[in-house]
Amino acid sequence: MADLDGTQTEKKEKEFHTQTPQETPGFFLKGSHQYDWGLKNRLSRVFNPKTGRTIMLAFDHGYFMGPTTGLERVDQTILPLEPYCDCLMLTRGIQRSIIPASTQKAVALRASGGTSMVSPDDVWEGELDGKPLKLSRPGYEPLSYEDTAVDIEDALRLNACVLAVQVFIGSQHERRSLQNMTKLIDAANRYGIAVMGVVAVGRAMARTAQYFRLATRIMAELGCHLVKCYHTDEDFDTITSCCPVPIVIAGGKKRPELDALKMAYDACQQGASGVDMGRNIFQSDAPVPMMKAVRGVVHEGLKPEEAYQMYQDLKNA
C-alpha cells in the first residue's frame, strides 16, 4: 500500500485553487465548437490551432487519373514534401504502400471512387431502319457515378482524421453522390472522424460564386464538417461567409507559382481556412520551395510577393 503510506508522510499540502475558476475555453475552428472531444482533437491535427488554418497536401489524384504528372513515384516526389504540410490527402492504397506509419501528419483519406477519367459516356448504340444509330445523353457526366470506396472500419485502422468524398451538385448523379456523403457522415459521426465534401465541378457547371455558394452550403447543411471548393476571382468571401463550416480551396490545374501563391493568399484573406493543394505544389519546378512558400502564405503571414521571393531564393540556393 505505497499510496496510503505516501498520504501519511507527504509534506506538501493539498492545493484546491479555490479562488481560480476552471476555464471553459471555446474551440478555434469555425462551426466546430459543439463537437465531441475526439472529433475536435482530430480537427486540431488537421487545422493548426495557432492560425486556424491548414495546408493539406493533396495527392489522391491517382484514384481516377492513375500516375498523373508528378505522381508517377509518390515515394520520390511526395515524401520530401511531407514535413512541411499539416495533413496528407491520399488514397488508402498509397497510404499503406508508401507513407511511413511513423508519420506525425494527419490523414485525409479519399473515401469515394469507382470511376476513371476514361469512364465511357452514356451511349446507346443500335440500329434503326436497318441503319446503325448512336445516341449519347447530354450532360451524363460519367465521372459523377461514384460510390463510397472505404469502409469506416478501414478508415479507423488507417487512423484517418478526415474522409473526403466527391459531390457532384447539378450533375446526372447528384443524388447518388450526396447519398455517398451522408452515409459516410453517419458512419464517421459514430467514431468522431470528420467528413470533407469535395465540390466536383462537372462539365456543365460554371465555376462561379453562385454555384459554389449553393454546393458548399448544401454539403454543410447535410452534415459535412469541412468543405473543399475552388477559389473564384469574384465574391469568394460570400462563399465562405454563408458556409457554416471551414472551407479549404483546391489548387486546380498548375499555374505559375506567383499566381498560385496569390490565390492561396486571397482565399485565406477572404475567409478560407487553408488550402488542399496538389498539382501547384508537386508539379512545380521546385516542389519543396513551393511547399514552403505556400506555408509562408497560409501560416506565417507572408504576402504572395514575399512568399514568391522565398520560393525563388530556395530554388536558386
Q: Which contacts qualify for 232-236: CB closer than 8 Å, 24 or more apart?
A: 232/207, 232/208, 234/209, 235/209, 236/209, 236/266, 236/267, 236/270, 236/271, 236/272
Q: Please state at what angle helix 257-269 crosses helix 304-316, rounded to 10 degrees.
A: 140
**Beta-sheet pairing, 131-136 with 147-148:** unpaired
CB nearer to ligand R5P: pick between 40 and 255: 255
Supply the Cα-derived Rg of the chain in whole angstroms.
23
Q: Does 251 bind ligand R5P (CB under 6 A)?
A: yes
Is there a catalytic annotation at residue 303?
no
Residue choice 89, 99, 165, 205 for contact with ligand R5P (CB under 6 A) = 89
Cβ–Cβ < 8 Å for 166, 112: yes
Residue choice 70, 197, 278, 304 for contact with ligand R5P (CB under 6 A) = 278
Minimum distance, C-beta of residue 161 to ligand R5P, in the bound complex (Å)? 15
Q: Which region, judged by CB under 6 A, interacts with ligand R5P, from 14-22, 262-270, 273-281, 307-315?
A: 273-281
Q: Does 225 bind ligand R5P (CB under 6 A)?
A: no
Q: For residues 203 and 217, what is the distance between their CA atoms, to the nearest angstrom?
A: 21
Q: Does 277 bind ligand R5P (CB under 6 A)?
A: yes
Interface size with ligand R5P, residues (CB under 6 A):
13
CB nearer to ligand R5P: pick between 60 and 86: 60
Q: Does 213 bind ligand R5P (CB under 6 A)?
A: no
Q: Which region, judged by CB under 6 A, interacts with ligand R5P, from 58-66, 93-101, 139-147, 210-218?
A: 58-66
Q: Residue written as cell 478555434?
A: 28
Q: Which three cell numbers stand for residue 99?
A: 507513407
Q: For residues 93 and 150, what is the distance between their CA atoms, to the nearest angstrom?
A: 11
Q: Residue written as cell 478508415?
A: 155
Minimum distance, C-beta of residue 110 to ligand R5P, in the bound complex (Å)? 7
Best CA proximity match to 250, nearest among 272, 275, 271: 275
Minimum distance, C-beta of residue 253 to ligand R5P, in the bound complex (Å)? 7
Q: Does 197 bind ligand R5P (CB under 6 A)?
A: no
Residue choice 61, 92, 105, 295 for contact with ligand R5P (CB under 6 A) = 61
Site string for ligand R5P, 122-161 (x = CB under 6 A): ----------------------------------------
Best CA proximity match to 163, nearest among 134, 189, 137: 189
Q: What is the three-class DSSP state of 184? A: helix
Q: Does 199 bind ligand R5P (CB under 6 A)?
A: no
Q: Does 58 bind ligand R5P (CB under 6 A)?
A: yes
Q: For residues 164 and 60, what is the distance between their CA atoms, to the nearest angstrom?
A: 10
Kindly name the residue from 12, 50, 105, 228 that is annotated as catalytic: 228
Q: Does 263 bind ligand R5P (CB under 6 A)?
A: no
Q: Which residues are catalytic?
A: 228
Residue ranges in contact with ligand R5P by CB under 6 A: 58, 60-61, 89, 198, 250-252, 276-280
